[in-house]
Amino acid sequence: MEDTLLPRHLRAELLDSLRSTRVVNIIGPRQVGKTTLVRELLDVGRFITLDDENVLAAMEADPSGQIEALVSEANDVPLIIDEAQRSKRLALAIKRIVDERRRMGQFILTGSSNVFTNAHVADSLAGRVQTLTMLPLSGAEVQRKGPARILDWASRTPEPSLRDLPKPEPVSRNGYIQELLAGGYPEIRNLPDRSRQRRYRDYVDTIVERDVADLIKVRKSDAM
């Protein structure tokens, strides 16, 4: 499976964070690949999703009891909670667990917004949560290349010269245009043109009608 998936540069940072902090919080736009990262590319951990209404209802009814049970089942691997922002009571339950247990890499949370936005929770978990932001696919990821290291090269080379860098692969003007139109959302970029346009239009509608509406009352959603 992993060979068919595009590499994500955030994977290395995620693995490093699991070794140095108790909770890793991955936030980013919907459909950007967060779930794929933690399920297929990470290949470790006990996974649940709060997109499952039954799981969400149980979490809201007894967050501490549910988290305790899930952590026990996970043993020494991370408990991965997908769409964590859907629960209003999750953050405090996690705080209680990580206050009692000092093991690194206990939780991985993913969501389109930060579950630790409550100021009290964020302050009390300082030093125990690492937040990573996942963005759409970069050009390097699409081309299955490694992350850019030009700043490392420049700082470690006594007399850096641009002539020493490898030549980039040539890309035509039309090639640039096609990459821009495809975008960086893994499931959408390879669709035919019309299907891709519809998916992106639906994506924007979902953001306005669901995510923005959670924050403010939108009187004219079409104008927004």
Domain-embedded: residue 172: no
pLDDT at 203 over 50: yes
Average pLDDT, integer, range 200-224: 77
Does residue 188 lie in a domain region? no
Q: Is residue 94 part of a domain?
A: yes
Would 119 be classed as within a structural domain? yes
As given in the structure block, the two tokens for residue 126 are 């300082």
Considering its fold, how many domains does the chain have in total?
1
Judge whether 186 lies within some domain: no
> Would you state the pLDDT for residue 186?
92
What is the arithmetic mean of pLDDT over 5-28?
A: 93
Q: What is the mean pLDDT of residues 187-215?
A: 86
- Arithmetic mean of pLDDT, 50-61: 94
- Residues 68 and 224: beta-carbon distance below 8 Å: no
| Res. 1 pLDDT band, cuts 50 70 90 | very low
CATH value at residue 9: 3.40.50.300
What's the pLDDT score for residue 57? 95
pLDDT at 108 over 60: yes
Asked whether residue 39 is domain-assigned, the answer is: yes
Q: Are the beta carbons of 58 and 50 closer than 8 angstroms? A: no
The answer as to whether 78 is a domain residue is: yes
> 36: pLDDT confidence band, cut at 50, 70 and 90?
very high
Question: pLDDT digit string (tens) for 69-106?
Answer: 999 988 889 999 999 988 888 998 999 999 888 899 99
pLDDT at 118: 65
**pLDDT per position as a tens digit, 93-103:** 999 999 888 89
Instruction: Please give the span between the terminal C-alpha atoms of the chain, in angstroms, as a whole number.
Output: 39
Report how far residue 57's alpha carbon sits from residue 25's, in angstroms, rounded to the nearest whole number: 22
* 85 C-beta neighbours (distance < 10 Å), count: 20
Residue 120, pLDDT score: 59
State which residues form the domain around 63: 2-133
* Residue 90 located in a structural domain: yes
Q: pLDDT tens digits, residue range 138-179?
A: 999 998 988 888 888 888 888 888 888 888 788 899 999 999
* 34 exposure class (CB count in 10 Å sphere: 0-12, 13-18, 19+): buried
Which residue from 181, 206, 180, 205 is spatially nearest to 193, judged by alpha carbons?
181
